[in-house]
Every structure is written in C-alpha cells, then in structure tokens.
Structure 1
Amino acid sequence: METNSTTDASVIGKIWNKRPLIISGPCSAETEEQVIQTALQLKETGKVDILRAGIWKPRTRPGNFEGIGAKGLPWMQQARKLTGLPLAVEVATAKQVEDALHFDIDVLWIGARTTVNPFSVQELANALRGVNVPVFIKNPVNADLELWIGAMERVAKAGVDKLGLIHRGFSSYGNTEFRNAPMWHLAIEMKRRYPGVPFLIDPSHICGNRHMLQEVTQNAIDLDYDGAIIESHIDPDNAWSDAKQQVTPQRLKELLDDIVWRKETIASEELHANLEKLRQQINQLDDEVLKLLSLRMKVAEQIGQYKKDNRITILQTNRWNEVLERVCKSGEKLGLSREFVTQYFDAIHLESIKHQDAVMNQHG
C-alpha cells in the first residue's frame, strides 16, 4: 500500500482523539531496512496508530549509540509512505525540531532528560512557536512535578494546541524492581491537573525489561490512561539500544490483545446506579474518617498543651515508633498494606505535630 508522503491534518486530529492511542516502533532507527520492516510488521498488527523511532538518542554515558541522526528521517518518511502510519520522534534541541519538521514528522515528543531542564524546554518552545504539530511531554527524570508542569506551560505558551503527557517513570536511588520507578501518585496528580490532555504510559522505560510490560500497561489502563507508547523491534535481542525492553511486533499484538481496556463511564443506567450507590458509601465513609481525624487532632492539641505546661518536646520518637508498629500490625490484619498504613499515618503524624506546635507557640 502506498500513501502520500505526509499525513493529512484531519487524520492526525482523529488519531489524537482515539482511545486507546498506541504509539510503537524501535527505540532507535538503525538502518533503513530495520525501520521499514518494523513499520510494515506493526501496520500488519492493526494495533498501532503512530510509528515512533529514536533518531537522536541522549545517552547517559559517551560511547553508547547516540542515534543515527537526521539521515534516518527519510527512512521514516518512506515507512509512512508504505504504511500510512503517522510519524513521531523525540526532539531535544531547536535544530532537531527544525530537521524533524523539514521531513514532515507528524508528532514530536520531549524526553525526560530534556524536561528536567527549563532552559532546554524553553529552547524547544521557541522553536515550536507558530508550528501546528502535536507535542507529547515525558515526565522529568527526577520526581519533580513542578518541572513537568513548567514544561507543559512553556510549550503551551508557544501556541502548541495539541499537548499530551507521557509517564515513563522516575529515577530513584535504591530502586531495583523497575528501571524507572513509576511513582504512580505523581502521575495520577498530573493527570488530575490536566484531565483533558491525552495521557500515555511508557512501560518500556518504566520496566526496562519485556516481562513486566503487560502488568504495567494494564495498571495504567486501570487508572484511565489514554494509551501507551511501547518500543517494538523486528529483532529485539540485537537492537542497538535498550534491547531488553523491546518486543517484536507480533508480541506487541499479543500483549495489547491481552489488555483489558476499561472505560471511564458506562452506558447502562442500571450499572451506573449500582456504581453510584457504592460511591455514596465511599462519600459517607470519607466524611466519617474526616470527623475522626478532626477529633484526633483535638486530642493532639490537648497533648500539646500538656507538653507545653511540662516543658516536654513535641516529637517523642519512641512513642511514635510504638504507634506506627501497632497500627501497621492492625492494618495488615484488616487487609491494608504496611506501605499504605505507614504513608497514611506519617501524614497524620505531621498534621498532629503542626497542631501541637501551634499550641506550644501560642501566646497568653
């Protein structure tokens, strides 16, 4: 099948609003044959909406393969001509934006190593001013939501009206399970702040391996993500970069076929009514929890007054350790994870300290 060398804007608009939106292709464009064969096989799956390939690859250390460069862009053009799939590439400099647009790349994304640097993001935003091209922004390497938000704001101010977000996980010291820890709470908060923006999961970079891709993708879909960007290669084991996390197009199809694609809303009035009853129960329980927490803080204030009168420090480490151990054991019996109980009571403890501190420092 042959198509035009560029993708019609109306087609991009339709794809942009598709759910789920699936972007796939090799981590790196290596050879023309590799790019085209991967594209043809991905097209054959019937699952992929946009073809991606790394043209420029920012690597942690020099000497690693850093991408084929702009000479790979015509390969992608040829792949689009043969498959009809729109194209997406990562850009990190104004020159890369210029090259990508010169070769009519349909969608751009800003990578994690770029998002972390406001100067770099601003350079890209300036290069994108007046350009009608959709842009995805990956979360920054480090766990800083403000940097992610700042990148969105900078690109939006440049006039880009089609903006999307990609959650690719965060670097974290001591993390062993994932290549980049998902830190779901940060991604969920970002999704909450930008509810109308397409939000994709990048399980390839979160996992750093093939065997966890489906689990992480399903987790994201359960959280109402809008799709995924997953790396695929015709010969993953011999890929020039990130070999362990790439899958063949056939394996990609199997993985996506096994995902349970959920919807945010349901059409059946009966089912919706049943769900609403359960939500009302949640609302009532939340109200009760808040009332109990308020009562707990009043007791904490009384304790603060006693400590003030007797010149006792607010923080009592041994007492807090005893409380935490007790509630963790109780929580586990009630089906609550130790991690959740610890985080929950840490927050309660900090609020309690604030109340006691206010009592300690009040005059009169």
Structure 2
Amino acid sequence: MKSINNELSVHSGPILISGPCSAETEEQLITTSIQLAETKKADVLRAGIWKPRTKPGSFEGVGAEGLKWLAEAKKETGLKTAVEVANVKHVYSALKHNVDILWLGARTTVNPFAVQEIADALEGVDITVLLKNPVNPDIDLWEGGIERILKAGVKNVGAIHRGFSKYGESNFRNPPQWQIPIELKQRFPELTLICDPSHICGKRDTLLEISQEAIDLNFDGLMIESHITPDKAWSDAKQQITPFELKKLIEQIVIRESKLPKKGKDTELDNLRQKINILDSELIEILSQRMKTTDLIGEYKKQNRIKILQSNRWEEIVEKSVIEGQSKGLTKDFIVKFLSDIHLESITRQNNIMNSNKWLDKILVKR
C-alpha cells in the first residue's frame, strides 16, 4: 500500500471529495460539478449512482445511466470522479466509464463475501479504492476489507470514516467513535484516511465542527456532500450543502502544524507533556488500587453468596460521579464511558473470583 494523497489532491491542503448524495439528473450533476470546480477547493466529484437504501420504495439511484453524466461532468470540469460500488456488476460498469475512484460503502464493507468478490474483480486493475468503515464498530472487519483489496494487487487503497450506527438517541446520525479510525491508522501508518462528516452528522449545522476535529486528528481529507439545491435533494437532503456553502466551510477550517518542533525547542510543550506522563502514571496506580479493592469485594461476595451485579450501587456511582465530574469541567459522556469500562473490568474480575474452584464449592455445599 502507498499513501494516495498525491493521487487525489491537486492542491495543497486536505483532500476534498464532494458532490451530491445521489446523481438525480444530468443537469443537476453537471451543474453541481461546475460549481464545485469554481470553488477551487474540490479535488474529486462524488455521486451516488446506485443507492443502497434501508427500505424499498425510496429512491435507489438512477443506475448505470448516471455514469455517462459523471463522465460528462469530468470532461466539463477536469475533476476526478468517484462512485460507490456494492457488487461486481457495479465495478465493471464503473471501470467501463473510466471512473477514477471506487468506494465500498458501510453496508458492503461489513460483508467479507461481497468485499472478496469485488477484490477479485479488481485484480490487476490500476485504480484507487476507498473503504468506508463497516456499519458496526468492528475495526477488524474494516482492516480485513482493506487487506482483501490489497491482496488483489490494488496499491492505491484508502479508508473513509463515516461513523458507526448506534441504537437510541444521539447528537449524530452515526457517532464518530474517533478511537477506531485512529487505531486503524496505527495499524496502517501509510493509509490515506478520509473523514465523511456528512454521514457522521446527518445534518448541516455540525459539519464544520466534525470537519475541524477530523483535520485536527490528522485525517488526510474530507468527503462532504454538496448539491445545487440541497433542500430539494432526492436523498439525505438535511446533510447536504451548496458548493458555495462548502467553499465557506473549507475556508473556516484551521490547518495546524502536523509536525512538532524539534525536541528541546519548545520547552513549554515538553513541560506539559512531562506533566501528562506523571498524571498518566498516577492514573494507572489509582486504577490498580481500585481493582485490588474490587478483588476484595469479589471475595466477600463469594463468601457471602451475594450476586455480582448490584444495579442500584452502579447507578449511585454514575450519578455521583457525573455531578462531581461536570463541576470539574468533564463531560457527562466521557464520565459514563470511562466508568462503564471500569465497571466492565470490575465485573469480569469479580466473575473470575466468584466462579473459580466452582466444583469445590459444590462439594462444600453438599457437606
């Protein structure tokens, strides 16, 4: 694999892939592409040709006819083109129309059989392939998809982070769970990583916030949906913006230095990092002491035949900690996530204690 930043970007700064969620008409697609080209911000024109919808009956794309429009838009503007493919037939149609970039959507990446079939169809083809993360937060599944495409001999492979599905209420359409793409980057240091704020947010008003966070986390680029008349879009209207609004959004993003000063040059930063190291060590020591106390509680529960999970006690801890944490500048979400991980580890440790020598406990009971 090689970094494909230079393959996609025609200007300095983050890669920008943009265009309508769906190609609706030839006029709509070409007009959008012309306006995008005029912004001088976009590198790649994206458009959904085949749209995998959650339920039948909604608009599912114009099909292969839209590839002709995409080719015309490329001829008109010089922008590279990108489409989503979900099966081998899509791959062959896209290649026939000289599409530059293929991406596998979240519903495809989640299926190793589908990814392998696409990988087989791409064997020996010189093209850029991007894989969106699977719908569920499974980094191994995402990594596996990337490896399947690489093993087919495709060298220009990248990833798109579009957030992960979550049951229940959320401020996001697909919560980002940033730790997952960060870990993927650690596994593939040369991987080009694109963020898709449109699908993370599901609405326009938080696109800038997520875009800025992605760039701050050293993502290589953004995929943001744009449309000449977003409110009239045939799919995902709420998350699309006009090319003019896109230009304004990109201009508001602050690009920070990716390289740190040489060691010793920035004393203030070195001092702050040293402080973080000390605090981290203290945190680990405190967590170690907490787990030792958890083990003692597990022994007590075992001896006195008390159930491991005490829901009322857990609720009390969370409620108290949230109030205390918020008073000290911590968010509720962070506190709950942090405590949940500690709670799960505590339960695991207590379960190991409670169920050790189980056969011996049965003998003692019979006596």
Instruction: Give the TM-score taking structure 1 as reference length.
Output: 0.88
- Cα pair distance change 1:100/1:272, threshold 3 Å: farther
The answer as to whether partners of 2:22 and 2:49 remain within 8 angstroms in 1 is yes
1:138 aligned to 2:119? no
What is the 5 A alignment of 1:275-314?
Answer: 275-314=269-308
- 1:39-68 deviations in whole A, cap 9, x for unaligned? 221111110111111122222222322222
Question: Cα deviations across residues 241-290 of structure 1 (Å, max 9, x unaligned)?
Answer: 22222211111100110111233323576764432321221111111111
Deviation at 1:326, TM superposition (A): 2.7
Paired residue type of 1:54: G
> Offset of 1:33 from its aligned partner?
2.6
Q: Render the CA deviation track for 1:165-209: whole Å, top value 9, x for unaligned.
A: 111122222235333232333333333333321111111122222
User: Which of 208, 212, 223 is matched with 2:217 structurally?
Assistant: 223
1:252 lines up with 2:242 in the alignment:
no
1:194 matched to 2:155: no
Corresponding position of 1:104 = 98
- SS of structure 2 residue aligned to 1:120: helix
Secondary structure in 2 matching 1:253: helix
**Unaligned regions of 5+ residues in structure 2, if any?**
361-367
Contact kept in structure 2, 1:175 and 1:181, CA below 8 Å: no
User: 1:83 maps to which residue?
Assistant: 77
Residue identity (%): 54
**Contact (CA 8 Å) 2:5, 2:220: kept in 1 or not?**
no
Q: Paired residue for 2:54, among 22, 43, 60? A: 60
Which residue pairs with 2:29 in the alignment? 35
Match of 1:167 in 2: 161
CA–CA separation in structure 2 for the residues paired with 1:131 and 1:254: 37
Give the aligned residue type for 2:197: P
Whether 2:269 is the aligned partner of 1:266: answer no
- Residue 116 of structure 2: SS of its match in structure 1? helix
More displaced, 100-109 or 271-280?
271-280
Would you say 1:156 and 2:156 are equivalent positions?
Answer: no
User: Could you report, residue by residue, the CA deviation over 1:6-50 in whole angstroms, capped at 9, with x for unpaired residues?
Assistant: xxxx99636399641100112222233322222221111110111
Amino acid at match of 2:124: G
Query: 2:206 corresponds to which residue?
Result: 212
Using the size of structure 2 for normalisation, the TM-score is 0.88
Residue 158 (structure 1) shift = 1.2
State the partner residue of 2:117: 123
SS at match of 2:205: coil
- The letter of the residue matching 2:299 is Q
CA contact (8 A) 1:12 1:86 kept: no
Residue 95 of structure 1 aligns with which residue? Answer: 89
- Counterpart amino acid of residue 105 in structure 1: V
* 2:312 equivalent in structure 1: 318
Cα 1:128–1:175 change in 2 (3 A) is: farther
Q: For structure 1, which runs of at least 5 residues remain unmatched after alignment? A: 1-9
Which moves more between the two structures, 47-56 or 13-22?
13-22
Shift, 1:348, TM fit: 1.9
Aligned partner of residue 83 in structure 2, secondary structure: strand
Aligned length in residues = 355
Q: Say which SS state the counterpart of residue 262 (structure 1) adopts.
A: coil
In structure 2, distance between residues paired with 1:300 and 1:208: 41
Distance 1:195 1:12 in 2: 16
